[in-house]
């Protein structure tokens, strides 16, 4: 480790992530960010001040020991850094790529106020990729407890829960409705941001530790949560089924041909491999077309940037607030803009128009101004009377958020739900109203982030561990 003083470290410039040029990357689905080399990673780690009270750790929802791992990177001890991260994070290569670090660990970094926060995400990605490339052995598992847990949903919440539970010696089976595991990581986030091989490698680490995956298994259709407990004999169930039901605009013309939800668009591209060159899968045709995307979150940016790569003639993000309120990660906004996505702010769609064949031809956009802050603290859009204009559009993609899919919950009527259709749980434990049944992730919070879902999965795993411990003790007492 270098002997630099704090003052010297503070003077060092951040090491930026090498990335492909916008011109080259907008023509294919290859990853945009190229990753640090070992030298770049060590140089970036050298900027860390190793604060006595590491606020970055407080900013991480899964509590990764950031100071310790950055310290190891600075010393060139990459395997050791990987072990530090994987003690708290079962998806480090994913989180290093997609976490909104600017509002979490990096936002809490002591250097953030000077605009020079340590690039913790880039370092995490480097360490995770290094470990994968060097066959880092998966964390060991203890001897089996004989207890069995069913996890419903293979997204980040279910994966984090599964990882901690096998780490406690429990037998874990993950039931996934789709034919691929990973949740939004597999079917939502596109290849150019999160290569599918990275998600697959993280899943292989879990398999190596004994987690079983059952795909094409929709819980609530054939088997219910009650069946898992009483017929299949699981000792506890964790529900991590996400919020996969798209919201629509509820404006006239939304049924026209050419209007899609971002979920459908991205799922078709991701799961049907449209990103593979010469793929002949049934796609949503956008080549040569004028595309508008409604919304400005990560999903909207992913849909817009995917349309760019599928050779749309033009791609416009239409958003009812201003650039400052856009919820997408800063990096996604910058990348989208550099790739040629046009941002039209302070407009909201009020009607979609079509031709005699029912095909979309245009969108009526209402001008907005910003009013008072709403419940989130963001200023609300207010329509400006009589300021509506039409823009020509061939394809519209709606990316204004998702709600929970009611399928599993309808089949589990004694599970308490909120008026928004989310599952009600104890925040610290994920315990639902049903004994032995826990939940976490987007099904509890509504659409949020990967790391928040993982944090919920970890809290639930700890609570399930205690629940199983106490049920084991009870059984022993009865014998
Ligand atoms: C396009 C897109 C981009 C995003 N980008 C980012 C980003 O950059 N950074 C970030 O932090 N967050 C991002 N998010 C949000 C993040 O992905 C989610 O908050 C996170 O994946 C939620 O995890 P989860 O485990 O709750 O659910 P999910 O990831 O939704 O996984 C739930 C899984 O449960 C399965 N399932 C559903 N019902 C059943 C059933 N009845 N039986 C069995 N299985 C079932 C689903 O098929 C799915 O695989 C993005 C979301 C989307 C849609």
- Domain spans, the chain: 6-133, 148-243+404-478, 245-401
Q: Give the C-alpha separation, 1 to 68, whole Å.
A: 13
Kindly indicate the confidence band of residue 113, based on its pLDDT and cuts at 50, 70 and 90: confident
Same fold, 148-243+404-478 and 245-401: yes
Going from the Cα of 403 to the center of ligand 1, the distance in angstroms, rounded, reads 11
**CATH class assigned to 6-133:** mainly alpha
Q: Give the C-alpha separation, 30 to 26, whole Å.
A: 9
Over range 182-200, report the average pLDDT. Answer: 95
Ligand 1 touching residue 180 (CB < 6 A): no
Kindly indicate the confidence band of residue 475, based on its pLDDT and cuts at 50, 70 and 90: low
pLDDT at position 470 over 80:
no
Ligand 1 touching residue 181 (CB < 6 A): no
* Residue 190 pLDDT: 96
pLDDT at position 477 over 60:
no
Over range 310-317, report the average pLDDT. Answer: 96
CATH 3.30.420.40: does it fit domain 148-243+404-478?
no
Q: Determine the residue of 104, 184, 295, 454 to mutate for testing ligand 1's pocket, defined as the one with the most ligand atoms within 8 A of the Cβ atom.
A: 184
* Residue 6 pLDDT: 87
Q: Is 78 exposed, middle or buried (0-12, 13-18, 19+ CB in 10 A)?
A: buried
Ligand 1 touching residue 241 (CB < 6 A): yes
Closest CA to 126 of 35, 19, 16: 35
| Separation of first and last alpha carbons in the chain | 57
The pLDDT tens digits of the residues spanning 408-454 come to 999 999 999 999 999 999 999 999 999 999 999 999 999 999 999 99
Ligand 1 touching residue 440 (CB < 6 A): no
Going from the Cα of 443 to the center of ligand 1, the distance in angstroms, rounded, reads 9
Q: Determine the residue of 153, 162, 245 to mutate for testing ligand 1's pocket, defined as the one with the most ligand atoms within 8 A of the Cβ atom.
A: 153
The answer for residues whose C-beta is within 8 angstroms of residue 296's C-beta and 6 or more apart is 317, 319, 321, 325, 326, 327, 328, 333
Please, what is the average pLDDT of the chain?
93
Going from the Cα of 213 to the center of ligand 1, the distance in angstroms, rounded, reads 17
* Residue 376 pLDDT: 77
Going from the Cα of 82 to the center of ligand 1, the distance in angstroms, rounded, reads 25
Residue 349 in tokens: 């769609």
pLDDT at position 318 over 80:
yes
Q: CB-side exposure of 139: number of CA atoms within 13 Å?
A: 22
* Residue 278 pLDDT: 65
Ligand 1 touching residue 331 (CB < 6 A): no
Q: Give percent of the chain above pLDDT 70.
A: 95
Q: Determine the residue of 183, 334, 443, 446 to mutate for testing ligand 1's pocket, defined as the one with the most ligand atoms within 8 A of the Cβ atom.
A: 183
Kindly indicate the confidence band of residue 138, based on its pLDDT and cuts at 50, 70 and 90: confident
Ligand 1 touching residue 178 (CB < 6 A): yes
Domain 245-401 sits in CATH at: 3.50.50.60
The pLDDT tens digits of the residues spanning 62-87 come to 999 999 999 999 999 999 999 999 99
pLDDT at position 473 over 70:
no
Over range 380-384, report the average pLDDT. Answer: 93
* Residue 208 pLDDT: 93
């Amino acid at each position: 480790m270098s002997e630099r003083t704090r003052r010297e470290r503070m003077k060092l410039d951040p090491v930026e992530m090498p990335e492909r040029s916008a011109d080259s990357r907008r023509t294919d689905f290859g990853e945009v960010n190229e990753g640090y080399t070992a030298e770049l990673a060590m140089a970036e780690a050298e900027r860390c001040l190793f604060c006595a009270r590491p606020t970055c750790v407080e900013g991480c929802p899964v509590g990764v020991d950031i100071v310790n791992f950055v310290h190891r990177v600075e010393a060139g001890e990459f395997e050791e850094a990987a072990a530090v991260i994987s003690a708290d994070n079962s998806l480090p290569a994913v989180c290093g790529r997609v976490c909104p670090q600017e509002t979490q660990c990096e936002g809490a970094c002591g250097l953030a106020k000077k605009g020079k926060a340590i690039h913790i995400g880039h370092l995490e990605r480097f360490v995770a990729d290094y470990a994968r490339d060097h066959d880092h052995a998966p964390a060991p598992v203890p001897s089996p407890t004989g207890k069995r847990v069913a996890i419903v949903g293979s997204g980040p919440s279910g994966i984090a829960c599964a990882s901690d539970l096998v780490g406690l010696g429990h037998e874990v089976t993950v039931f996934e409705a789709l034919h691929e595991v990973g949740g939004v990581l597999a079917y939502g986030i596109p290849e150019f941001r999160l290569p599918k091989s990275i998600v697959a490698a993280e899943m292989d680490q879990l398999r190596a530790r004994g987690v079983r995956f059952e795909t094409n298994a929709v819980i609530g259709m054939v088997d219910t949560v009650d069946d898992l407990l009483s017929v299949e004999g699981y000792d506890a169930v964790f529900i991590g089924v996400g919020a996969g039901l798209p919201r629509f605009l509820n404006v006239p013309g939304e049924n026209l041909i050419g209007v899609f939800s971002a979920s459908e668009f991205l799922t078709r591209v991701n799961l049907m491999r449209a990103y593979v060159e010469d793929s002949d899968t049934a796609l949503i045709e956008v080549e040569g077309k004028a595309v508008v995307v409604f919304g400005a979150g990560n999903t909207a940016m992913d849909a817009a940037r995917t349309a760019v790569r599928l050779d749309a003639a033009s791609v416009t993000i239409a958003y009812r607030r201003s650039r400052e309120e856009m919820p997408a990660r800063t990096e996604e906004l910058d990348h989208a803009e550099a790739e040629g996505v046009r941002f039209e702010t302070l407009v909201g769609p009020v009607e979609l128009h079509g031709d005699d064949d029912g095909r979309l031809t245009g969108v009526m956009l209402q001008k907005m101004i910003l009013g008072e802050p709403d419940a989130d603290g963001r200023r609300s859009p207010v329509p400006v009377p009589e300021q509506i204009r039409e823009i020509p559009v061939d394809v519209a993609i709606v990316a204004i958020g998702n709600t929970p899919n009611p399928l599993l919950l309808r089949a589990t009527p004694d599970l308490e739900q909120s008026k928004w259709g989310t599952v009600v749980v104890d925040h610290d434990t994920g315990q639902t109203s049903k004994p032995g049944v826990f939940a976490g992730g987007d099904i509890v919070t509504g659409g949020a982030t990967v790391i928040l879902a993982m944090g919920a999965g970890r809290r639930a795993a700890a609570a399930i561990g205690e629940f199983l411990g106490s049920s084991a003790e009870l059984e022993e007492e009865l014998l």
